[in-house]
Structure 1
Amino acid sequence: MFRRSHFAAAIAAFMLISAAAGAQEYPTKPITLIVPWPAGGSTDISMRAIAESASKVLGQPIAVDNKAGGSGTVGPATMAAGAKPDGYTIAQIPITVFRLPLMQEVSWDPAKDFTYIVHLTGYTFGVTTSAESQFKTWKDVVDYAKQNPGKVTYATPGAGTSLHIGMEQIASMADIKLTQVPFKGGAETNAAVLGQHTMLQADSTGWRPLVDAGKLRLLMVWTSARSPNYPNVPTLKELGYPMVYDSPFGIAGPKGMDPKIVAKLHDAFKKALEDPAVVATLAKFDMVPNYKNTEDYKKFVVEVTESERKVVDKLGLAKKTN
């Protein structure tokens, strides 16, 4: 018994030393960053720029793995279910990770299944229509929708996303009925509104090249102030809707990560946000750095979950409970 207890103690000590050494040496191989949206959209492009900068700090490549679907939740859910908490698999965490569990049964618990690392930025959202559309202003949309309930269709990157929730809030305030057409991401929503398969598109600034080229018309933005890139386009507040939507996001790993590894990742991504090349890429898509450290990010998760609960309840989108 004496020998066994000594042997067990020795094994436990060895494991602790190995874990500490592993955290100290981390990273020793490439890291996978799951981006839960299709390639080519504003999130994908900005996350690739951030990952490239952070990889230089960490001394290892960060490979982006696009896992689209589920309104941005398939990627994080896949990571939570199957990835080791060793710091070699992390994911962008969109706000739908906190919202969708309030609306339907899901396989993850945002409070328990993730290790939150760092909060990064948010989006400029806007509503566009084809340049050939009859809608010249948002008032044109409201007037048409009042005469044709449910006939105004709008593309979003998925049900339950901030774009979907935001549009439903706007519709409720305007006393109109709109019809959502969900897609997987910005490339698809761009194609839908450009081809006039939907009348409108509600999305982040992946639409910017098409707006700048005169192919899409930007009707409104959801920021607190007008975009410096589109000074003639009104905000929601100016149109009479007391809302600001920027759907902020950060990065997390699976639950149970070593705090020392979390700290290394946090520091690398924080430094990336200060990189002029990253700032320029974010500015291209009207995205502003919105840094929060690990502890503040954890608190933010609690706050945003409660805030989303109130919105989902108000819109009647909360999941039914027995």
Structure 2
Amino acid sequence: MNDARDPARRQLMLGGIAAATLTLAPARVLAADTYPDRPITFICPWPAGGTADRSMRSICQIAARELGQPIVLENKAGASGMIGTQMLASARPDGYTIGQVPISVTRFAQIGSVKVDPLKDLTYIARTSGQTFGIAVPANSRFKSLGDMVAQAKAKPGAITYAHAGIGGATHVGMEQFAQAAGIQLNAIAYKGGAAALQDVLGGQVDMLADSSSWAPHVEAGKMRLLATWGETRTPRFKDAPTLRELGYDVVVEAPNGIGAPRGLPAAVEQRLRKAFRVAVQSDEFRKVAESIDAPVMYQDGPEYRTYVESVYRQETELIRKLNLKELMAKG
């Protein structure tokens, strides 16, 4: 008799198929039901102690409570944030390795200095907060205003130095945009992060610092002077410092931080992470930390964050051409 016509045998066969299907189901699907069941690694592509590091540590602490597992932050600094970004994109897409995505990856990918395609190789979890960038000098600097600095830079092209957090990064590109708008030539000194750049400016080895608000406590303590900020409007904490745009230079740099994961994250895991980081970014606890480091909250959920990255990618194509960034990168 044909097996398919025997009801008892047919039922046995169907039961076996169902069991085999469960046995062979992709591990990523089954794992999503219990995610997370162990600590999560968070890659921060900047040195410890900077504003990005402080921001990410705060968010991770809150999100860890939501997820019920520790989030262990690892600093993987270098190459203007691209070493950590490359590690993130290359990690296993299981939700146990996530990290900060520097928006400058949209620039470095097109320049060719990092093997990451931000439009294809990353899963976007949340945009978190912006940064308050500014130009600061030691309190005993000969520059009393940005106008003073510009006048002297025009008199001695290339003589004035500034420290930044890495070639091609937001602080470097922002200063070069400003220099081009002002018609001046400055001498850029690259560091692996803002903390090291700050120390050399405070020590008098470099004339100026271009950074997010690592300079803030030193300005408040009277050890540094803030010449200008780079946002759309003045920052409330330093309302006496003009913006570059106010001073006649059409330059605005905010470079929002965001959180991502490798491409291929299981949908259920992605949803779990998006929910946890939504709660974290929108919490009063994080807002207080963000205010303390002058990092305006600029939350976007994963899909909107991806759309934002795509728009920045298109803008960077023109900026790379305008500033001859490929040539600058080649010179180091």
Aligned to 2:229: 221
Aligned to 1:136: 144
> Does residue 38 of the first structure (1) align with residue 47 of the second (2)?
yes
Q: Secondary structure at the match of 1:25?
A: coil
- Using the size of structure 2 for normalisation, the TM-score is 0.90
> Does residue 125 of the first structure (1) align with residue 137 of the second (2)?
no
- Using the size of structure 1 for normalisation, the TM-score is 0.93
Q: Residues 11 and 167 of structure 1: is their aligned pair in 2 closer, same or farther, counting only changes over 3 Å?
A: farther
Q: Residues 140 and 265 of structure 1: is their aligned pair in 2 closer, same or farther, counting only changes over 3 Å?
A: same
Note if contact 1:127-1:220 (Cα within 8 Å) is conserved in structure 2: yes
Q: How does 1:158-169 map to 2 (within 5 A)?
A: 158-169=166-177
Q: How does 1:296-311 map to 2 (within 5 A)?
A: 296-311=304-319
Aligned to 2:4: none
The partner residue of 1:106 within 111, 114, 119 is 114
The partner residue of 2:61 within 52, 56, 70 is 52
Aligned to 1:70: 79
Note if contact 2:46-2:193 (Cα within 8 Å) is conserved in structure 1: yes
Q: How does 1:1-322 map to 2 (within 5 A)?
A: 13-16=22-25, 18-81=27-90, 83-318=91-326
RMSD between aligned alpha carbons? 1.8
**C-alpha distance in 2 between matches for 1:123 and 1:52:** 20
Note if contact 2:28-2:94 (Cα within 8 Å) is conserved in structure 1: no
Note if contact 2:82-2:114 (Cα within 8 Å) is conserved in structure 1: no
**C-alpha distance in 2 between matches for 1:292 and 1:230:** 26
Q: Secondary structure at the match of 2:246?
A: coil
Q: Residues 130 and 141 of structure 1: is their aligned pair in 2 closer, same or farther, counting only changes over 3 Å?
A: same
Q: Secondary structure at the match of 1:135?
A: coil
Measured against aligned partners, the alpha-carbon deviations of 1:160-181 in whole angstroms (never above 9, x if no partner) come to 0111111111111111001111
Aligned to 2:3: none
Aligned to 2:6: none
> How high is the sequence identity, in percent, across the aligned residues?
41
Note if contact 1:80-1:113 (Cα within 8 Å) is conserved in structure 2: yes
Structure 1, unaligned runs of 5 or more? 1-5
User: For residue 170 of structure 1, what is the amino acid of its counterpart?
Assistant: F
Measured against aligned partners, the alpha-carbon deviations of 1:20-65 in whole angstroms (never above 9, x if no partner) come to 3311210000111111111011111111111000111000011110
Note if contact 1:102-1:318 (Cα within 8 Å) is conserved in structure 2: no
Deviation at 1:105, TM superposition (A): 3.6
**C-alpha distance in 2 between matches for 1:151 and 1:11:** 73
**C-alpha distance in 2 between matches for 1:161 and 1:119:** 18
Q: Out of 19-28 and 300-309, give the one that drifted further.
A: 19-28
Note if contact 1:154-1:180 (Cα within 8 Å) is conserved in structure 2: yes
User: For residue 73 of structure 1, what is the amino acid of its counterpart?
Assistant: M
User: For residue 155 of structure 2, what is the amino acid of its counterpart?
Assistant: Q
**C-alpha distance in 2 between matches for 1:33 and 1:197:** 34
Structure 2, unaligned runs of 5 or more? 1-14
Note if contact 2:93-2:262 (Cα within 8 Å) is conserved in structure 1: yes
Q: How many residues are treated as equivalent by the alignment?
A: 314
Structure with larger Rg: 2
Note if contact 1:121-1:289 (Cα within 8 Å) is conserved in structure 2: yes
**C-alpha distance in 2 between matches for 1:107 and 1:310:** 20
User: For residue 151 of structure 1, what is the amino acid of its counterpart?
Assistant: A
**C-alpha distance in 2 between matches for 1:17 and 1:178:** 56
Q: Secondary structure at the match of 1:181?
A: strand
Measured against aligned partners, the alpha-carbon deviations of 1:244-278 in whole angstroms (never above 9, x if no partner) come to 21001211111111011011111101100122121
